[in-house]
Structure 1
């Protein structure tokens, strides 16, 4: 059959209409106010800047309306068009062709006065071809963005204008089918928002436990160096081929992952340092951004000779030290010990001089187990969030033409 999506609700069978976006929407002038002309605290009229669309304002502007900045009184444009329910704003430029014409639809913002700002295109369906809530998802669909990628202009920054919408089509089913599609995707978006809040709260709980556990144990005559020893065993016979790097977000990862499926390791890895499970390593020039980690995902691997590697002594449980490295106190102590003018580094001696008081090994294990259980729970919630996001992406690909 012709103009129908691959996936739809079983009660619908008729073909969809295809309309040029320029025929569906009327376009209104927007302002070019910069961030300096906006204020998050005071004002009467709020401004939707294209940067907010790119930062991840959802398809539907709902409670997000409350977080938009106001236009400063002295910067107020002489003429402007306020958003109405169901209006759409497109970001007209991006360095990524996938984000050109990224759109949001204004929903549930009846009590808000909002105008469309810098690098946006403001469109309105004055012909009532669509129900409120449908357009935002239609303009997020793969079929729409494939057309945009074809016509986006530029080299480093890609852009479109309202005139380009003469060349772009959108699929429009009956209003009953639009309603069912919108309700389904809105429900998924709300579940994604809830899932993000669950993850955020669990991360806050983890941080609070870490700070409570370690903050009161910073005044001590003992130091990290009392509980660790450096390891510098080399891969002399090149028996180990698992080349690792330390990421500030993911910890130990295979080097090919960090450098986009290409290896930057030397052909001769005989001078590379061997790390074993529960050993630590850090990049002296990147520890200030968190590039320090404990090896947990592999039994062993090798890292560049520039890394500093160490392990804990029997009196210090590796997990206990691992979580200490996430504290604000540790970051503060690092800043005091960085050396160098162009690129500041932390030496092994500097790390060893950081104060650290530890409880009994039994308490360390108890704290480590508690936090590890929480970390595992966070991971499960993140995995579920990814499933929700994949589900939404699949539906945006399959439910539109």
Structure 2
């Protein structure tokens, strides 16, 4: 099998958004996806941002502190978007010689992540620059062979996307139900149904430290934790909530519900609370309410402070929401459980797609060796 130099097939793209005609600002994640940017662009000159079009690539040359991965993505499903000038954009010169999706399969392999990390250089920041990208060697079979492997990849991807799109219907049901309740049910003060907790891990016996994500889920901490100093951490038990009072960083109200069958601990800077009587208010129903975009906007509007804007405990208690009969809560929570279960299954399906990439590439290599 003859490996070919990628630089012979790709070229830089450096179109700028000079006329400000493109407003779709995207970032690139180390999951190799274009994602909506969360950067604060207030006062930023957007005319200097790069324009990328469908079937063009963007990547970040910086690979250090990036989860041992390279951040690279292929734009699909959008005519054009703008990205930070920190990214490098490129395209394939001749799509009759190299199909973008075929190249993306190559990029999606964990072997490629290891290759780029090994070949990154620098002191403060290790980078995999454009010259290194051009020096990548890969098998490029006939266009017919490429189409065959891309078709297999797209088939699996489309099945997963179809399943993912079906989740939107369930999400719409949940959201519409809450909206209807807001219109028809009398709102009540949340403070009458919840109580603040302050149980500390004084003996440091609980080691299961968790952070909280903008998806309003508990997650592995994003910063290094001193496991020898956990005595001041707050304990979160099953069906307890944890929430982040500061709202100015992520622009959302981060509220998470613990469904772990064992205690976890979170930073003492966060707040823990629980529902006083689950026969009157089901925790999952309350969590559904917190997952709405409207509560994020409400919390941001009612946050106060100079260096840090906070939505404190009194603000939380002053939230008003519809609390229907327990039977109605149970009905919508059943649909919510189905939605959450299917979301987890969808993540598993997505997890099976990436391992397919090295299998397909191994097929390319073995097929060409036989011939």
Q: Same fold (TM over 0.5)?
A: yes
**Alpha-carbon offset, residue 133 of structure 1:** 7.5
> Is 1:276 equivalent to 2:237 in the alignment?
yes
Question: 1:156 & 1:313 partners in 2: Cα distance?
Answer: 51
Aligned counterpart for 2:215 among listed residues 230, 237, 249: 249
Q: 1:95 to 1:313 in 2, by over 3 A?
A: same
Q: 1:341 to 1:361 in 2, by over 3 A?
A: same
**Alpha-carbon offset, residue 39 of structure 1:** 3.8
Alignment correspondent of 1:229 = 195
- Asked whether the 8 Å contact 1:214–1:327 carries over to 2, the reply is no
> Is 1:332 equivalent to 2:302 in the alignment?
no
Give CA-to-partner distance per residue, 1:31-81, whole Å, 9 cap, x none: 63212347459xxxxxxxx98899747xxxxxxxxxxxxxxxxxxxxxxxx
**Alpha-carbon offset, residue 224 of structure 1:** 0.7
> Is 1:94 equivalent to 2:55 in the alignment?
no
**Alpha-carbon offset, residue 277 of structure 1:** 0.3
> Is 1:207 equivalent to 2:171 in the alignment?
yes
- Asked whether the 8 Å contact 1:105–1:135 carries over to 2, the reply is no
**Alpha-carbon offset, residue 323 of structure 1:** 0.5
> Is 1:366 equivalent to 2:327 in the alignment?
no
Alignment correspondent of 2:40 = none
Question: What SS does structure 2 have at the residue aligned with 1:345?
Answer: coil
Question: 2:15 & 2:259 partners in 1: Cα distance?
Answer: 49
Spell out the pairing of 1:13-162 with structure 2 (5 A cutoff). 16-21=1-6, 25=8, 32-37=14-19, 39=21, 56=33, 94-96=61-63, 99=70, 119-120=89-90, 122-124=92-94, 136=103, 140=107, 155=125, 157-161=127-131
Question: 1:105 & 1:291 partners in 2: Cα distance?
Answer: 30
- Asked whether the 8 Å contact 2:119–2:128 carries over to 1, the reply is no
Q: 1:273 to 1:357 in 2, by over 3 A?
A: same
Any unmatched runs of 5+ in structure 1?
Answer: 1-15, 42-49, 58-82, 107-111, 113-117
TM-score of the pair, normalised by structure 1: 0.65
**Alpha-carbon offset, residue 327 of structure 1:** 1.7
Question: CA RMSD of the aligned region, Å?
Answer: 4.2
- Asked whether the 8 Å contact 1:285–1:343 carries over to 2, the reply is yes
Alignment correspondent of 1:321 = 286
> Is 1:285 equivalent to 2:246 in the alignment?
yes
**Alpha-carbon offset, residue 312 of structure 1:** 0.9
Q: 1:152 to 1:216 in 2, by over 3 A?
A: same
Q: 1:267 to 1:33 in 2, by over 3 A?
A: same
- Asked whether the 8 Å contact 2:10–2:93 carries over to 1, the reply is yes
> Is 1:385 equivalent to 2:346 in the alignment?
no
**Alpha-carbon offset, residue 292 of structure 1:** 0.9
Alignment correspondent of 2:272 = 309
Aligned counterpart for 2:257 among listed residues 277, 282, 294: 294
State which structure, 1 or 2, has the greater radius of gyration over its C-alpha atoms: 1
Question: 2:199 & 2:28 partners in 1: Cα distance?
Answer: 49
Question: What SS does structure 2 have at the residue aligned with 1:368?
Answer: helix
Alignment correspondent of 2:39 = none
**Alpha-carbon offset, residue 335 of structure 1:** 2.5
Q: 1:33 to 1:366 in 2, by over 3 A?
A: same
Give CA-to-partner distance per residue, 1:291-343, whole Å, 9 cap, x none: 21111023222222222111112211111111011123322331232121111
Any unmatched runs of 5+ in structure 2?
Answer: 35-52, 80-87, 367-371
Alignment correspondent of 2:41 = none
- Asked whether the 8 Å contact 1:152–1:160 carries over to 2, the reply is no
Aligned counterpart for 2:229 among listed residues 262, 267, 277: 267
Question: What SS does structure 1 have at the residue aligned with 2:235?
Answer: strand
Q: 1:288 to 1:311 in 2, by over 3 A?
A: farther
Question: 2:286 & 2:193 partners in 1: Cα distance?
Answer: 9
**Alpha-carbon offset, residue 225 of structure 1:** 0.8
Question: 1:352 & 1:134 partners in 2: Cα distance?
Answer: 51
**Alpha-carbon offset, residue 92 of structure 1:** 7.8
